[in-house]
A and B are shown apart, each in its own frame.
Chain A
């Protein structure tokens, strides 16, 4: 490890570190634009000049291009180096339009900061400025090319790091242009990171276009709720409206970046139709009345039918604390009907997967980047866990071999071997690939989905990982699927609870941020069963079907609006903090004076209007209302203390929001048995027709972001995807409208065909308003739709 002296301070850095990074380690930050820790140095901006006094290199040098070596003595504040930096920044600014007042980057702009830090404050150049016409890059990213300083960060991120091919560099010298060949949406699922990597305002977040300055935003360290990977991010809210979401660095999880679903999926929190009122029997009321009503309904049901008549459903998308308090409430009521997911088949598979992960085999998201052999079985990374695809690409760039065993024509931003196989054949193909490749790999990882593979494939992946000493990485459905699965253990699934409702044994359902009417695959059965209930108590922040049907409704706080913990697919518990107090956004309150729709109101409120609270507060109120002894549910600290009493959750004691997280192991004690068939969904039918699977997409299928208007824009029209040969056999053509039917249920959509799709299977996304889940796991017939 080379040792060098920077500004009189000695520092030792790993081999290969550049001098700029070494100075950063000492806390000396020298202005730089093109260098980025994730993308390396190219020496394009020439700004990070330092004076090398002693050692192998001498003179004023661009420090990002020089590797730290023994014996170097570097001065950052040498007059020659300062002069070089001042002149470089002055050149970089000659063409800048000076439109900071109307630029969204203003206030968080590296160019602003480093222009001043570089010593350039007054424009001397009197010549004309170069201009560009900007392009329309879709509704996520706004481009204003005049502001460009040609640092090449966008090109290096988009093409090299993220593997996009529809964006790049044109022209030369100071006329260099970064954009697409023609106007249109950026196709990469990671395009949003351009707003973060661009050091100036060329690429800015269009969802927050002209809406806020960074100094007005209320921010807090947080964790993404939109998939199971738990990428770290910083949500920013202004006047109670969630506006800007930025990536936050976590070297163990997402590195520096996040996907577009996480970045642009925040619209659900400020939706106009977000439920913000306490409702009892369709009447608006206040918190105390709602708690009172819930208490009355629960105690009446228990008095009349016993504790078995109350069922509770938690949620894989809510915090660990909320689910834990729900479980405590169930324990106090002695109610045994509690589950944490309303999709039984997925729930059982996830519980199984979670119990199979152990300290030796599990890999973090970032570990995937450093493996040399990646075998993915039954997972579609770009669609199920987008950032996983980005990490796999980094591994592939370093030379890793990637095999994807999946019936879908999986698309990834790099070259890989696709082995089409039906879910039943996954285990067999996995064994085949491992036989051929395991021996010449040092650090292999097996990635397994939990959506379309069966329990046998999930078991086979864990068994292979154990036997052959490979890493294991499951993708789950939601941000806290792991936590929900650990709490659920070997408890009943939602199908069993539906049977209880149908049989009249369950009279009250408490649905915590869960949506049985919208998410249970057989919607008609769920609707029939829930109608038989005496009362439905719902706590949520989304306008779900279940929320609309509630007898007692409590408006809950969303992830950026409360403190909590999510446990990601690896078992990494990560804390998130409250960024803002939830309530009706000031901008949608009106009316003040003319024009009334625009002004915020002119009266004062002593309380936040339309305030929602974290669901654990309501659950605690209900427990108290029922006369339970529950002092330990009063604050988040006491709740976490009771949570840590469970041996598995003991690592949570050391958790704080800006750490890398604490690892939780589920343990095998209450692993659901492989033989236990889930009470619904189970094995696919045998018979004629194509095997149908409902699948995830990057945009439009995930439960929370499906309520965000901006991500909905990138959701496709409903379609069904089959193999081209199958389509030819059925006499169907790509692009035709078809009817997908099984028994009584049928779907109407567009047909897509692909040669790399497995034969004998059909796939359709779980889009809002398109009930693909109803047919999942069934044999379907696809026929041309008669007009």
Chain B
């Protein structure tokens, strides 16, 4: 093939492609008016959920903050007064979060969950820091039946020995079996 035919071929191919694409249906989506369906396992903004009784699920065990590879979770645990452990404050810096989901995996009470909400850009970096009141939702999220305290035998939701997998408390003043 001579040099001139090569140039002509390239020219015509390019024009032909352009012409062809003019009659194709466009792939561009008019975001935000139009939104693409997310995959079933998409995980974005983190929330704190409540147990079925409406209580805060988070017990401030620090496993999420310990496992977080970018150290974007911080909190202070405390006693609510009745022996229930809860986060006095709980803070996630979404400016730093890489949405890896390891906090959700580590969470023993299923409190911290990643949601499909990806639209939370901000103009100021400090607004990416979410406090507990921004994170806590009113529902159970995934696993609607689960209540940590019904399985851990320390008597917060049910009195001691009243959970389904427990015997009643030992009577320490009797030697009967």
A residues adjacent to B (C-beta < 8 A): 97-102, 106-107, 128-134, 144, 146, 170-172, 175, 177, 179, 209-213, 215-216, 239, 587, 592-594, 598-600, 602
Known: A101-B63, A101-B109, A599-B91. A211 touches B169 (CB 8 A): no
B131 touching A131, Cβ below 8 Å: no
Q: How far is the CB of A492 from chain B (nearest CB, A)?
A: 49
B152 touching A171, Cβ below 8 Å: no
Please name all residues of chain B whose beta carbon is closer than 8 Å to the beta carbon of A598 when the two chains form the complex: 76, 88-89
- Minimum CB distance partner of A212 in chain B: B77
A98 touching B77, Cβ below 8 Å: no
Give per-residue flags for B161-177: 1 if the beta carbon is below 8 A from chain A beta carbons, else 0.
10001111110110101
Q: How far apart sit A602 and B133, CA to CA, in the bound complex (Å)?
A: 15
Please name all residues of chain A whose beta carbon is closer than 8 Å to the beta carbon of B133 when the two chains form the complex: 593-594
B137 close to chain A: CB less than 8 A: no
Q: How far apart sit A635 and B167, CA to CA, in the bound complex (Å)?
A: 62
B61 close to chain A: CB less than 8 A: yes
Please name all residues of chain B whose beta carbon is closer than 8 Å to the beta carbon of A239 when the two chains form the complex: 76
- Minimum CB distance partner of B62 in chain A: A213
Q: How far is the CB of B96 from chain A (nearest CB, A)?
A: 14
Q: How far apart sit A99 and B170, CA to CA, in the bound complex (Å)?
A: 19
Please name all residues of chain A whose beta carbon is closer than 8 Å to the beta carbon of B61 when the two chains form the complex: 100-102, 106, 213
Seed contacts A129-B166, A146-B154, A177-B170; 7 additional CB < 8 Å A-B pairs:
A101-B61, A128-B166, A130-B167, A134-B160, A599-B91, A599-B131, A600-B91
B102 close to chain A: CB less than 8 A: no
Q: How far apart sit A97 and B169, CA to CA, in the bound complex (Å)?
A: 13
Give per-residue flags for B118-159: 1 if the beta carbon is below 8 A from chain A beta carbons, else 0.
000000001001010100000000000000100111110000
B72 close to chain A: CB less than 8 A: no
Known: A592-B131, A599-B131. A131 touches B148 (CB 8 A): no
Please name all residues of chain B whose beta carbon is closer than 8 Å to the beta carbon of A146 when the two chains form the complex: 153-154, 160
Partner of B167 from A131, A216, A593 at Cβ < 8 Å: A131
A102 touching B85, Cβ below 8 Å: yes
Partner of A102 from B76, B154, B175 at Cβ < 8 Å: B154
Q: How far apart sit A177 and B129, CA to CA, in the bound complex (Å)?
A: 47
Interface residue ranges of B75-128 to A (CB < 8 Å) = 76-79, 85, 88-89, 91, 108-109, 126
Partner of B160 from A100, A131, A593 at Cβ < 8 Å: A131
B78 touching A101, Cβ below 8 Å: no
Q: How far is the CB of A594 from chain B (nearest CB, A)?
A: 6
B169 touching A133, Cβ below 8 Å: yes
Please name all residues of chain A whose beta carbon is closer than 8 Å to the beta carbon of B126 when the two chains form the complex: 602
Please name all residues of chain A whose beta carbon is closer than 8 Å to the beta carbon of B77 when the two chains form the complex: 210-212
A593 touching B63, Cβ below 8 Å: no
22 contacts between A and B (CB under 8 A): A97-B153, A99-B154, A101-B63, A101-B109, A128-B167, A129-B153, A129-B167, A130-B166, A131-B167, A134-B160, A144-B154, A146-B154, A175-B177, A209-B79, A210-B79, A212-B77, A215-B66, A598-B88, A598-B89, A599-B91, A599-B131, A602-B129
B60 close to chain A: CB less than 8 A: yes
B170 touching A130, Cβ below 8 Å: yes
Q: How far is the CB of A85 from chain B (nearest CB, A)?
A: 25
Chain A interface helix/strand/loop/mixed = loop
Partner of A101 from B79, B89, B108, B169 at Cβ < 8 Å: B108
Please name all residues of chain B whose beta carbon is closer than 8 Å to the beta carbon of A212 when the two chains form the complex: 77
Q: How far is the CB of B22 from chain A (nearest CB, A)?
A: 52
Of all A-B residue pairs in the complex, the 9 with the closest CB atoms, nearest first, are A97-B153, A101-B61, A99-B152, A131-B161, A213-B62, A101-B108, A102-B85, A177-B172, A175-B170
Q: How far is the CB of B177 from chain A (nearest CB, A)?
A: 8
- Minimum CB distance partner of A201 in chain B: B154
Q: How far apart sit A101 and B87, CA to CA, in the bound complex (Å)?
A: 12
Q: How far is the CB of B80 from chain A (nearest CB, A)?
A: 9
A213 touching B168, Cβ below 8 Å: no
Partner of B151 from A98, A106, A131, A587 at Cβ < 8 Å: A98
Known: A146-B154, A598-B89. A100 touches B108 (CB 8 A): yes
Please name all residues of chain B whose beta carbon is closer than 8 Å to the beta carbon of A129 when the two chains form the complex: 153, 165-167
Please name all residues of chain A whose beta carbon is closer than 8 Å to the beta carbon of B88 when the two chains form the complex: 587, 598
Please name all residues of chain B whose beta carbon is closer than 8 Å to the beta carbon of A100 when the two chains form the complex: 61, 108
Q: Which of B60, B129, B167, B170 has the most CB of A within 10 A?
A: B170
Q: How far apart sit A598 and B88, CA to CA, in the bound complex (Å)?
A: 7
A132 touching B109, Cβ below 8 Å: no
Partner of B59 from A98, A101, A130, A599 at Cβ < 8 Å: A101
Q: How far is the CB of B125 from chain A (nearest CB, A)?
A: 11
Q: How far apart sit A134 and B83, CA to CA, in the bound complex (Å)?
A: 12
A171 touching B170, Cβ below 8 Å: yes
Please name all residues of chain B whose beta carbon is closer than 8 Å to the beta carbon of A130 when the two chains form the complex: 166-167, 170
Q: Which of A131, A209, A602 has the most CB of B within 10 A?
A: A131
Please name all residues of chain B whose beta carbon is closer than 8 Å to the beta carbon of A179 when the two chains form the complex: 172
Partner of A216 from B62, B91, B155, B165 at Cβ < 8 Å: B62
Q: How far apart sit A191 and B177, CA to CA, in the bound complex (Å)?
A: 30
Q: How far apart sit A132 and B154, CA to CA, in the bound complex (Å)?
A: 9
A172 touching B175, Cβ below 8 Å: yes
Q: How far apart sit A177 and B89, CA to CA, in the bound complex (Å)?
A: 36
Partner of B172 from A102, A171, A594, A599 at Cβ < 8 Å: A171
A97 touching B167, Cβ below 8 Å: no
Q: How far apart sit A99 and B166, CA to CA, in the bound complex (Å)?
A: 14
Partner of A210 from B66, B85, B155, B177 at Cβ < 8 Å: B85
A131 touching B170, Cβ below 8 Å: yes
Please name all residues of chain A whose beta carbon is closer than 8 Å to the beta carbon of B63 when the two chains form the complex: 101
Q: How far apart sit A764 and B77, CA to CA, in the bound complex (Å)?
A: 41
Known: A102-B152, A171-B170, A177-B170. A133 touches B91 (CB 8 A): no
Please name all residues of chain B whose beta carbon is closer than 8 Å to the beta carbon of A209 when the two chains form the complex: 79
Known: A129-B167, A131-B168, A177-B170. A102 touches B59 (CB 8 A): yes
Q: How far apart sit A592 and B134, CA to CA, in the bound complex (Å)?
A: 13
Please name all residues of chain B whose beta carbon is closer than 8 Å to the beta carbon of A600 when the two chains form the complex: 89, 91
- Minimum CB distance partner of A593 in chain B: B131
Q: How far is the CB of A95 from chain B (nearest CB, A)?
A: 9
Partner of B153 from A99, A170, A172, A210 at Cβ < 8 Å: A99
Q: How far is the CB of B70 from chain A (nearest CB, A)?
A: 17
Please name all residues of chain B whose beta carbon is closer than 8 Å to the beta carbon of A131 when the two chains form the complex: 153, 155, 160-161, 166-170
A587 touching B76, Cβ below 8 Å: yes
Please name all residues of chain B whose beta carbon is closer than 8 Å to the beta carbon of A594 when the two chains form the complex: 133
Please name all residues of chain A whose beta carbon is closer than 8 Å to the beta carbon of B148 when the two chains form the complex: 101
Q: How far is the CB of A342 from chain B (nearest CB, A)?
A: 39
Interface residue ranges of B37-78 to A (CB < 8 Å) = 59-63, 66, 76-78
- Minimum CB distance partner of B162 in chain A: A131
Please name all residues of chain B whose beta carbon is closer than 8 Å to the beta carbon of A211 when the two chains form the complex: 76-78
Q: How far is the CB of A200 from chain B (nearest CB, A)?
A: 13
- Minimum CB distance partner of B107 in chain A: A101
Please name all residues of chain B whose beta carbon is closer than 8 Å to the beta carbon of A97 when the two chains form the complex: 152-154
B60 touching A210, Cβ below 8 Å: yes
Q: How far is the CB of B28 from chain A (nearest CB, A)?
A: 39
Q: How far apart sit A100 and B154, CA to CA, in the bound complex (Å)?
A: 11
Please name all residues of chain B whose beta carbon is closer than 8 Å to the beta carbon of A172 when the two chains form the complex: 175
Q: How far apart sit A587 and B62, CA to CA, in the bound complex (Å)?
A: 16
- Minimum CB distance partner of B61 in chain A: A101
Q: How far is the CB of A172 from chain B (nearest CB, A)?
A: 7
Please name all residues of chain B whose beta carbon is closer than 8 Å to the beta carbon of A106 when the two chains form the complex: 61
B166 touching A132, Cβ below 8 Å: no
A132 touching B167, Cβ below 8 Å: no
Q: How far apart sit A621 and B148, CA to CA, in the bound complex (Å)?
A: 57
Q: Which of A102, A175, A211, A239 has the most CB of B within 10 A?
A: A102
Q: How far is the CB of B175 from chain A (nearest CB, A)?
A: 7
Q: How far apart sit A213 and B88, CA to CA, in the bound complex (Å)?
A: 15
Q: How far is the CB of A675 from chain B (nearest CB, A)?
A: 59
Q: How far is the CB of B135 from chain A (nearest CB, A)?
A: 12
Q: How far is the CB of B146 from chain A (nearest CB, A)?
A: 13
- Minimum CB distance partner of B108 in chain A: A101
- Minimum CB distance partner of B109 in chain A: A101
A133 touching B89, Cβ below 8 Å: no
Known: A98-B151, A102-B59, A132-B170. A171 touches B160 (CB 8 A): no
Q: How far apart sit A103 and B155, CA to CA, in the bound complex (Å)?
A: 13
